[in-house]
A and B are shown apart, each in its own frame.
Chain A
Amino acid sequence: MTLILQALTITPTAGTPLFAPLTLTIRPDTVTTLMGPSGVGKSTLLDAIGGHLAPGFRLSGQILLNGRDVTHLPAESRRIGLMFQDAALFPHLSVGDNLAFALPPSLKGRPARRAAVEDALTRAGLAGFYARDPATLSGGQRARAALMRTLLTRPEALLLDEPFARLDATLRADLRGFTFAHARAQSIPVLLVTHDEADALAANGPVIAL
């Protein structure tokens, strides 16, 4: 599994391209880190790859995922997972139902789906949290639940938009390890956007400056 960006540029409708054409191959089993000052368009790039580009931006170039051209696919058909700073758990669903939301419909039968969710919760260290209100979780628990939710869809690539930025240093290291380990276990390409040198160091992969 490989995520390839070919001569990608993003241009605001009225303005100049945010960065020079970007060509990049992100291999599975590695975490590629994207660094750069705020406002340079890192998050916009992730949005473009994930299919969430806001109107007012034009995209040129190509995004290839495992040989599929996903450049013009809607976000829901790309199979690209996205993790935000603030977890973005659905506030109206319990923690477990947040995960159930992500399970592919191909997994049939209530017991099987429930078991899949319970299993994911256990792996996230959240056993017994099915019925919990996501608003009552700690920051680290929220991030782990969000990661599990993303991985349950079996994405073919994972985009991380500063997902550790709101956590304190110890928790940050913990969660980094947790995230990278799970991504490697599914052997999917990971693109991490961060401000933090420590994140890049821990990612132990190519570092791109934007």
Chain B
Amino acid sequence: MTWRAQTQPSRPAPHGRILRRAVLWVVLLGLVLPILAGSFETLRAAFGLHPGIGATRFGLAPWQSLAALPGFVTALRLTLFTGIGSAVLALLLATGFCALMHGRVSTRQGDHMLTPILAVPHAAIAIGLAFLIAPSGWIARLIAPLAGWTIPPEIASVNDSYGLALLLGLIVKELPFLLLVILAALSQLPVNQQLSAGRALGYGRGIVWIKVIMPQVWPLIRLPVLVVQAYALSVVDMAVILGPSNPPTLAVAVTRWFANPDVQMILPASAGAVLIALLTLAATLLWLLAERVVRAIGLWWLRRGGRGLSMQPGLLLTAGLAAAALALGLLSLLALLIWSVTHRWSFPHPLPESWSWQTWHAASWAEAASYSLLLGCTTTLIATTLAIAWLEAEDRSASPRAGWATALIYLPLLLPQIAFLYGLNLLFLRIGLSGGLVAVIWGHSLFVFPYVMIALSDPWRALDPALIRSAASLGAGPNRRLFAVKLPVLLAPILTAAAIGFAVSIAQYLPTLFLGAGRIATLTTEAVTLSSSADRRIVGTYASLQAALPFAAYALALALPRLIFRNRRALLGGHA
């Protein structure tokens, strides 16, 4: 494995160990400790221990009141249906789409097409989708002349009690992410040879994908799929915008109970938060179990040697649905933009009757935008610095990443946010951080760091070791190697990782809500709050801005290296 080759002398230099320890402590104290302590506080409250509100009786009472809360069972059912359903369907669509599109677009093209959609915060996609599919939405306006509608039809196409709109929203949002990880996995496999080999043996294209390619892809995308699953079960912002409101999904209900004026509601709310964590764990186990079952059935099926030429229509169908979901995502963005510059747009006109920059000029968004920008820049800076320090420490101490370290990185993504944010805020209250910028920056960093780390790890390791050895043999010590060789050569992937981190920060809803104690309003929290209001022009403006900031970050991350290295051909070829 030459790509893993390190550039170290036979004895690790002592500064390597110091850096490694420093990074480890920062991650433990800054990242793991808050999550564990927050989870612990929530767990205590779930079993009746919350001295702050006078609850000191340990027992199952919070669980009993949780189960007795109106709408609890429906909320649970909704959560399972939308959470697991969206993850399974999104994976299915992504698989079909990749099977059909592979070889027609390069990984790089795929990256460039998908990353911008990926960058758009969940809330913005949800609001745009609501603008599209609502009874008075754009789609209804477009088909109104054909259907003969003069007033919006009476269909509950958003906030429907089955959670279908939420299911659709989750699929639209998660599909690009899954496509990206599948494409990245495929780029590591000799797909074309295996496709040819399989087809030469008489198997159709679709069946080779299912029998040969996907079993190899799955181990590479298992973790991202589980991240998607955890997210879908605990999502709040999208569920507020698209999901049913009475009763809502469990995560939304729990968030409302936490905010209830009756502080005693905090106890069942905590139990609900723990329940979501348990559901996530159960779903994870279910995926792993399903993996075994599918493997067993798959092997039996594979050994029968059926050529199954008829899979092609199924592939075409899923790929078609995936394309439709992607199109919905893009149209949602367009709908946001159009509404933000609409003056008057009454049903059933297909386009606004008059346009206006009024909501942009009114600039009510300015404060929220500056908070978003401030939080995004600070957390990105912190997370990127920490990620570089971590990777450099790995290089210097000449040891590959241990399994537990990978688990640490994924921990904040696999654990539902709601399971530890309330408890974390309790801790922040105690040390006087709650409601302040520091608390929110800290909270965002918990989620920004893992994404930056994941995005940067592969390009960092793919750096040609000969460059670093050359630098060392030319007398450059570890610091000069880092600052004069590694960082500039890796500028493009570093900026891309930073842009991803920035997008993650902009999209954060719950951490801002809980840790900001309602005092810090970002574009995302404002957009979600406003989403139920009638004025689509204002909501559209907030959501457009929310989508525009990550877009701008990506544009910058693409443009800067091209500008700086415009005369350096080897660095324009693009990085993984």
Q: Which residues of A contact B (CB under 8 A)?
A: 47-48, 50-55, 57-59, 71-82, 84, 86, 88, 90-92, 94, 101-102, 104, 133-136, 146, 149-150, 153, 155
Contacts and interface: CB of A to CB of B under 8 A. Distances in A.
B467 A90 contact: yes
5 closest A-B pairs by beta carbon, nearest first, are: A75-B472, A91-B570, A135-B569, A88-B466, A135-B570
Contacts of B473: 50-52, 75-76, 78, 80-82, 150, 153, 155
A129 B491 CA distance: 25
Nearest to A74: B9
Contacts of B485: 90, 92
Interface residues of B, number: 35
B483 to A, nearest CB: 12
Interface stretch (B308-316, B359-367, B474-482): B474-482
A77 B569 CA distance: 32
A104 B10 contact: no
A53 B9 contact: yes
Contacts of B11: 72
Contacts of B568: 91-92, 133, 135
A47 B471 CA distance: 14
A76 B475 contact: yes
A77 B472 CA distance: 8
Contact of A52 (B399, B472, B488): B472
B575 to A, nearest CB: 11
Contact of B464 (A81, A88, A149): A88
Contacts of A136: 569
B470 A92 contact: no
Contacts of A102: 474-475
Most chain B beta-carbon contacts within 10 A, residue among A51, A59, A91, A136? A91
Interface string B441-479: 000000000000000000000001011011111111110
Contacts of B571: 91-92
26 contacts: A53-B8, A53-B9, A55-B8, A57-B10, A72-B11, A73-B9, A74-B8, A75-B473, A76-B472, A76-B475, A78-B473, A84-B469, A84-B470, A86-B466, A90-B489, A91-B467, A91-B489, A91-B570, A92-B491, A101-B476, A102-B474, A133-B570, A146-B470, A150-B474, A153-B473, A153-B474
Interface of B: 5-11, 13, 398-400, 464, 466-467, 469-478, 484-485, 488-489, 491, 565, 567-571
Given A53-B9, A54-B5, A74 B470 contact: no
A50 B399 CA distance: 20
A181 to B, nearest CB: 21
The winner among A58, A71, A133, A155 for most chain B CB atoms within 10 A is: A133
A75 B9 contact: yes
Contacts of B567: 94, 133
Contacts of B400: 55
Given A90-B467, A92-B565, A135-B570, A51 B472 contact: yes
A111 B44 CA distance: 70
B290 to A, nearest CB: 36
A102 B474 CA distance: 6
Contacts of A47: 469
Contacts of B9: 51-53, 72-75
A71 B473 CA distance: 14
A78 B474 CA distance: 10
Nearest to B561: A92
Specify which of A80, A84, A134 lies most central, judged by the most chain B CB atoms within 10 Å of its CB: A84
A27 to B, nearest CB: 21
A91 B569 CA distance: 8
A92 B488 contact: yes
A79 B466 contact: no
